[in-house]
Structure 1
Amino acid sequence: MSNINLTKAIRLLAFFFLLFAGMYYLEGFLVPVVFAALLAMLFTPLSEKLERKNIARGWAVLICVLILVAVFAGIVSLVAWQINDLLSNADQLQEQFAQMVAKIKVLISTKLGVSHEQQQQMLEHQRSASAGKASQTITRLVAGLGGILTSCVLVMVYMYLFMYFRTRLRNFVLKLTPTDSKHQAEKIMDTTSGVIQKYLSGLAMMIVCLWIMYGIGFSIIGVKHALFFAVLCGLLEIVPFVGNITGTTLTVLFTLAQGGDMNDVIGIVCVYGTVQFLQSYILEPLVVGRAVSINPLFTILIIVFGEFLWGIPGMILALPLLAITKIIFDNISALKPYGYLVGEDEKNHTGDYAVVKWLKGLFTGKKYAD
């Protein structure tokens, strides 16, 4: 009996090893497909509503894709407009940065005993060492931008095809399912679609709320280009953990470069703390709720693993994919223990668990209501 259990365990480990190895090496193919599948789930209700108004499915799906393109184009245009406005003061920014560097050099010389000449020699050595890599960096940057544009086009194409052939894809899954399990399969697909729709729509509403709150807060404390930094901080929220820190850090650095002082830095930190409090304990429970009910341990593990597997896209996709996996676990008897392991209790208000929930919020920027 023990040999049989050991064989099953080895097979299971081999399966997961091959699965994750395949996901790692097929990143370029899988990431656009997964993004497209999630967006298709989000826009399916709109497509169905249009189809009920006697609009052909092809046109209904195309309208959904065009709406998504228009939203992204609007966001990109807004960011580009703000960046252009920011670069209009490039000379002033360069001067302020030069002053900051000079102050840092004095601080290093005073506190660490490294003279200006030694610092200059270190900088020259670094420049000479990196000069040969400059062309390679530019080439990689251009290739990266080209890859992003290609991936965006692929996402739109895949999204259209997923939505257009959704009935065939659904019937395909049902044909693979035994007759006595068809109802269960339908329940899993419907639940998955509902959870993803709630999560993504709630996340979009949350980003808009963050834009408004950051915009008001930064404007009150007098941050220059407040709209740009509000949009930046809101958009970066989709990247768990890293987004929160990056958005605030960039706002602080540019504020200092534009002549700000410690009072401005304190103001930015206070705005960030206030917004995060309102987001975590008021807006998040109301807008998103418990759409993704994953316990803090696996929340952190899956985000770190997602970054290792697919980088930034992996961090963004980690929680929705784990939520889908949990739904499958919860609806299959043999896998329910794994669903219980990944999920969290419906009610748990102990003081110790509150600390764990805080850790979950630190890594995700989100806290889900109990």
Structure 2
Amino acid sequence: MQGLPITVRRSLELIGIYFLGVIIYVGQGIITPLLTAFFIAILLLPSYRFFRKRKLPETIAISFSLLMLVIILGLLIWFFSAQFSRLIEDFPQIKHNVMMHLNSLSGWINEKTNFSTERQLALINEQSNKLLNYAGGFLGGAAASLTSIFIFVGLLPIYIFLLLFYKNLLLRFVFMWFPENHHHKVEEVLRESEIIIKSYLIGLLIQISYITFLLGFSLMIIGIKHALLIGIIFAILNLIPYIGALIGNIIGVLLTLSSSEDLWPVFAVLITIAVVQFLDNNILMPRIVGSKVKINALASIVGVIVGGALAGISGMFLSLPLIAVLKIVFDRTHHLQQWGVLFGDEKPKYSPMSFPVFRKKSKGVQRELEKENKIEPTEKK
């Protein structure tokens, strides 16, 4: 590609992005579990290496690492089931509270707009019928969705085991794609990708834990019902940047409204979530994950939306670590550095329109921008 005109190179890049999106969309059933298994396998590398240092056979070391993962997932499922069983036990009270809030809302609407209760009931019945028809169609495809979920869950441990078992073979495959004089760059990208992915994923696990603890126990002290359930739901949804936090707030409000006859708990929940989110965004998460690779807010939101459109919910969760890896690759590929700039958060203080130095791909300029934006270089490990 080096001898091609720049317009041809840019056209090939855009065509490549288009076909990559088509491949992900068409092959999401194959790519999503493989990509998920890849990230989890990297997360399990420290435990695998720990067991290997103890002279355990490779298959035993991988099996022990997978067993630890299964135990953690089993505990999470047990916690969720315990919280949801409490929610189901309170269903009669929830039904009573929901009807009370709906009646209050109906009276307020009638008072402010002269929209009678009878007309409101007619509208609710009409919308309920539409919702039931939609639910019927949704349940019609539930069997296929459930089957795909079982296939996904069944393939995941197999993929993780095989990725760890054949990691040396896969690494050799990657190196053989590039000429020998580029192998040092390939090694640098691979090492940094491993560090970034481990840092990011371990940081997310820690984030889920402390958000659940802080939010759940704060709401419990205030006296909010189902406090831990609100905490864990918000913590998991918060993994989806920006969009997840909004959905988590809505679910927290709905759970609180359905569990209480008063309105003050709703404001208590919203204020508590805002405080926990402020601590998470400004104090805790930056210290835990660090600032080795920063993805700007625009790239994060677009990445989450595109990931969701191409591969559903799993695509939304996988979008950020994938963008982080792509940024590492782009930053170290001369002809693709502009894409790394587009994803990154190394914002110049002054406009490139007035200061031509910011138009260049110079490594020195990039290092200065990283210093200005307090982005730490990734250390080799």
TM more than 0.5: yes
Structure 1 match to 2:247: 246
Structure 1 match to 2:210: 209
Does 2:167 align with 1:170? Answer: no
Q: Map residues 306-317 of structure 1 onto 2, 5 A cutoff.
A: 306-317=307-318
How far apart are 1:109 and its partner, in Å? 2.1
Q: Map residues 246-325 of structure 1 onto 2, 5 A cutoff.
A: 246-325=247-326
Q: Residues 146 and 113 (structure 1 numbering): CA distance in 2 closer, same or farther, change over 3 Å?
A: farther
Give, in whole Å, the separation in 2 of the partners of 1:170 and 1:213: 41
Q: Residues 255 and 65 (structure 1 numbering): CA distance in 2 closer, same or farther, change over 3 Å?
A: same
How far apart are 1:179 and its partner, in Å? 1.3
Question: What's the secondary structure of 2:141's corresponding residue?
Answer: helix
Q: Residues 7 and 282 (structure 1 numbering): CA distance in 2 closer, same or farther, change over 3 Å?
A: closer
TM-score by length of 1: 0.88
Give, in whole Å, the separation in 2 of the partners of 1:25 and 1:334: 28
Structure 1 match to 2:93: 92
* Aligned partners of 1:239 and 1:312 also within 8 Å: no
Structure 2 match to 1:110: 111
Q: Residues 19 and 104 (structure 1 numbering): CA distance in 2 closer, same or farther, change over 3 Å?
A: same
Percent sequence identity over matched residues? 26
When structure 1 is superposed on structure 2, of 307-316 and 323-332 the one drifting more is 307-316
Q: Residues 251 and 294 (structure 1 numbering): CA distance in 2 closer, same or farther, change over 3 Å?
A: closer
Q: Residues 257 and 345 (structure 1 numbering): CA distance in 2 closer, same or farther, change over 3 Å?
A: same
Give, in whole Å, the separation in 2 of the partners of 1:6 and 1:235: 43
* Aligned partners of 1:199 and 1:291 also within 8 Å: no
Q: 1:41 is matched by which residue type in structure 2?
A: I
TM-score by length of 2: 0.85
Q: 1:99 is matched by which residue type in structure 2?
A: M
How far apart are 1:340 and its partner, in Å? 2.9
| CA RMSD in angstroms, aligned pairs only | 2.3
Give, in whole Å, the separation in 1 of the partners of 2:298 and 2:87: 41
How far apart are 1:132 and its partner, in Å? 4.6
How far apart are 1:34 and its partner, in Å? 0.8
When structure 1 is superposed on structure 2, of 46-55 and 261-270 the one drifting more is 261-270
CA displacement, residues 303-359 of structure 1 (integer Å, 9 cap, x when unaligned): 2222222232222111111111111112223333332332222897xxxxxxxxxxx
When structure 1 is superposed on structure 2, of 25-34 and 256-265 the one drifting more is 256-265
Count matched residues: 350
Structure 1 match to 2:80: 79
When structure 1 is superposed on structure 2, of 309-318 and 334-343 the one drifting more is 334-343
How far apart are 1:135 and its partner, in Å? 3.4
Q: Residues 159 and 124 (structure 1 numbering): CA distance in 2 closer, same or farther, change over 3 Å?
A: same
Structure 2 match to 1:125: 126
Q: Residues 262 and 63 (structure 1 numbering): CA distance in 2 closer, same or farther, change over 3 Å?
A: same
Give, in whole Å, the separation in 1 of the partners of 2:41 and 2:63: 12
Q: Unaligned stretches of 5+ in structure 1? A: 349-367
Q: Residues 11 and 149 (structure 1 numbering): CA distance in 2 closer, same or farther, change over 3 Å?
A: same
* Aligned partners of 2:193 and 2:325 also within 8 Å: yes
Q: 1:243 is matched by which residue type in structure 2?
A: G
Give, in whole Å, the separation in 2 of the partners of 1:286 and 1:131: 47
When structure 1 is superposed on structure 2, of 258-267 and 184-193 the one drifting more is 258-267
When structure 1 is superposed on structure 2, of 7-16 and 201-210 the one drifting more is 7-16
Structure 2 match to 1:30: 31
How far apart are 1:123 and its partner, in Å? 2.9
How far apart are 1:128 and its partner, in Å? 4.0
How far apart are 1:227 and its partner, in Å? 1.8
